[in-house]
Structure 1
Amino acid sequence: MTRPHLAPPTTFDDLIQRLQAEFASLPPQFQVAVRYLLDHPAEVPVVSMRTVASQAGVQPATLVRLAQSLGYSGWAGLKTVFVHSLPQTVVKGYAEQAQRVVRSKRSPNKQQKMLDAQMLNIQALENLNTEKLAAVTDMIHKAKRVYVAGFRASYPPAFGFHYLYRLFRPSVYMLRSDAGTLEMELRSLGPQDVVLLIGFAPYSQEIVRVYEAAKAAGSQIVALCDSAVAPIALEANGLLLFNTETSSFFPSITAASALVEVLAEQLLARTGMRAVNDIAKAEQQLHHTGAYWTKH
């Protein structure tokens, strides 16, 4: 379906925004193609359309029709937008990945591959987020309250952010699904709040429920995730991306953990000396209450 009244995106950022806005209304095969294109942008400029289609699991004609629906004359026009794009990843099934790890158990460089993948994930954070980090920091800083959510494997970085930020801001709350009380906690969301969501594919039902509740409440949404077309990113007010690439069987959360530490540091700097004083009080209280082990 061609939309001649809409000019085709000329930059990768414009393309992401357009696809995010239209993703939910796209035909299923277009959605499959879009997710692959945005999650593997570095591959698009260097391989043929047939190869891209094969890897995405769609027909080449689907890519042509997708390009035309965005206002390009054909695939070549869409492909040019990807020349300077950055790589992102989508993980395979855990069992499939685990089987590959077991098959290669005698590989002499297994540990190095794992460390190299983690290093690349962290190095990618700068290019993925530098231009957006300041705006996201400002949005969170100005919020009346900040709610943080991450479930299953996304819980560690979410809790890490909550723990760090809570040291110098009391109005930070962790949304949990313990004892089936998530819906009860979501009732407190309001239009002056920011809801920070962390997730990666496959996305948990809980994180999508929080996303929908935040939209309904009029809260601002900050998504930290692995794809610009993740279900929690499509209508987010702020978006920071991380890669989950790994040579092991489970998506890596190393970059997500690093990203929340970067964000916490930015918020500390944004808050200033008041935050320093709050951290000093928290530290003093922790020592006073015996929170840390000491040698007697």
Structure 2
Amino acid sequence: MNHDKTIKDFDWLREEIQRRFDTLSPHLKRIAEYALADPNRFALQTVAVTAEAIEVQPSTLVRFAKLFDYSGFSELQNVFRVRLTEAADSFRHQVGEYRTVLQEADGSNPDTILNALSDASVLAIDRLRHDIEASKLRQAVQMLEKARFICVLGQRQAFAVAACLSLGLLKLGRRCQLLDSGAGMLPHHIANLTPDDLLVAVGLSDFSRTVLDTVPEARERGVPVLAISNSQTDPLARHSSLNLVVRDPEVHQFEPLAPYIVLAQTLIVSLASCD
């Protein structure tokens, strides 16, 4: 085997795992699947936490690392951490480029604006693919699957995402309602929810007071809340049962809706496969 460390990056490791997967023992296969399914989580967890999650001994993780010619688990994990850091640096660089283009563009060049905003949406989708945790996606689908009745709430820019998700759920034959605060009926809808139901709350940067007030109220009643937001620390995330994060590239004051729609469609298609 080539011992040149310059080639032993994440791409090399992924190809090696795929090439040698059939030869691995059941325990080592579980480690490989866990690592490639959610490389961000693998990069950040301790060896003890990772071993417990996969249900193997820490020594098995070390054996896995040495099998692929790393000195130990720390060197193996560093490959995943480097991948995470490089992706973040690339993301920040691209965001800066698109922001500059938009700042310099004027109304006489709408094609330039279109290209920059389109590129920003593609960047946000790529970032979603990189950041989203597979385990959280599966948990979100399970929440939707087991819910007796699903209410979906999204105001302002988030309304389009909420409408997309609601339509998909209705097409699957799920009992679902898209909530609207316009008639002042929202508190009554929340009061009728039970712990067997589910509230899906979508919030972008422009949170409405309605959403922020509704989510804690639902949680106090024991209603599970699935949040889709752009932060792990905003009020929506803090009061949810599960929060799926979509990062805003912050290229323009209009937050890209494309990654939110892709995430909503992912949940719908995944739920359909469960039926």
Q: TM-score range by the shorter chain?
A: 0.5 to 0.7
Q: In 1, Cα distance between the equivalents of 2:156 and 2:45?
A: 30
- What percent identity do the matched residue pairs reach? 19
User: 1:134-145 counterparts in 2 under 5 A?
Assistant: 134-145=138-149
- 1:159 pairs, out of 163, 178, 199, with 163
Q: In 2, Cα distance between the equivalents of 1:11 and 1:215?
A: 32
Residue 267 of structure 1: how far off its partner (Å): 0.7
**Structure 1: 5+ residue stretches without partners:** 1-9, 15-80, 90-96, 272-296
Q: Are residues 101 and 129 of structure 1, via their aligned partners in 2, closer, same or farther at CA, if it must alter by over 3 Å?
A: closer
Name the counterpart of 2:173.
169
1:148 and 2:148 matched: no
- 1:256 pairs, out of 254, 260, 274, with 260
1:133 and 2:137 matched: yes
Name the counterpart of 1:28.
none
Name the counterpart of 2:220.
216
Q: In 2, Cα distance between the equivalents of 1:82 and 1:235?
A: 32
Residue 162 of structure 1: how far off its partner (Å): 0.3
User: 1:56-205 counterparts in 2 under 5 A?
Assistant: 84=84, 101=102, 104-105=105-106, 109-131=112-134, 132-205=136-209
Residue 183 of structure 1: how far off its partner (Å): 1.3
Residue 219 of structure 1: how far off its partner (Å): 0.9
- Contact (CA 8 Å) 2:150, 2:175: kept in 1 or not? yes
Q: In 1, Cα distance between the equivalents of 2:210 and 2:154?
A: 8
Residue 104 of structure 1: how far off its partner (Å): 2.5
Q: In 2, Cα distance between the equivalents of 1:246 and 1:115?
A: 13
Residue 254 of structure 1: how far off its partner (Å): 1.3
User: For 2:237, what is the secondary structure of its paired residue?
Assistant: coil
Q: In 2, Cα distance between the equivalents of 1:244 and 1:137?
A: 23
Residue 192 of structure 1: how far off its partner (Å): 1.3
Name the counterpart of 1:55.
none
Counterpart of 1:217, as a letter, is R
Listed one character per residue, the Cα deviations across residues 4-48 of structure 1 (whole Å, up to 9, x for unaligned) are xxxxxx97579xxxxxxxxxxxxxxxxxxxxxxxxxxxxxxxxxx
Listed one character per residue, the Cα deviations across residues 195-247 of structure 1 (whole Å, up to 9, x for unaligned) are 11100123111111221121111011111110111211114222212133264
Q: In 2, Cα distance between the equivalents of 1:13 and 1:173?
A: 38
* Higher RCO (CA-CA < 8 Å; seq separation 6+): 1
* Greater fraction helix: 2
Q: In 1, Cα distance between the equivalents of 2:196 and 2:45?
A: 27
**Pairs aligned (count):** 187
TM-score, normalised on structure 1?
0.56
Counterpart of 2:129, as a letter, is E
Counterpart of 1:137, as a letter, is V
Counterpart of 1:213, as a letter, is E
Name the counterpart of 1:61.
none
Q: Are residues 247 and 111 of structure 1, via their aligned partners in 2, closer, same or farther at CA, if it must alter by over 3 Å?
A: farther
- Contact (CA 8 Å) 1:114, 1:246: kept in 2 or not? no
Q: In 2, Cα distance between the equivalents of 1:115 and 1:219?
A: 37
Q: In 2, Cα distance between the equivalents of 1:197 and 1:12?
A: 28
User: For 2:132, what is the secondary structure of its paired residue?
Assistant: helix
Counterpart of 1:188, as a letter, is N
1:206 and 2:210 matched: yes
Q: In 1, Cα distance between the equivalents of 2:221 and 2:175?
A: 18
- 1:270 pairs, out of 259, 266, 274, with 274
TM-score, normalised on structure 2?
0.60
User: For 1:196, what is the secondary structure of its paired residue?
Assistant: strand
Q: In 2, Cα distance between the equivalents of 1:83 and 1:213?
A: 40
Instruction: Flag as ranges the 4+ runs of structure 1 deviating above 6 A.
Output: none
Q: Are residues 175 and 82 of structure 1, via their aligned partners in 2, closer, same or farther at CA, if it must alter by over 3 Å?
A: farther
- Contact (CA 8 Å) 2:102, 2:116: kept in 1 or not? no
- Contact (CA 8 Å) 2:151, 2:176: kept in 1 or not? yes
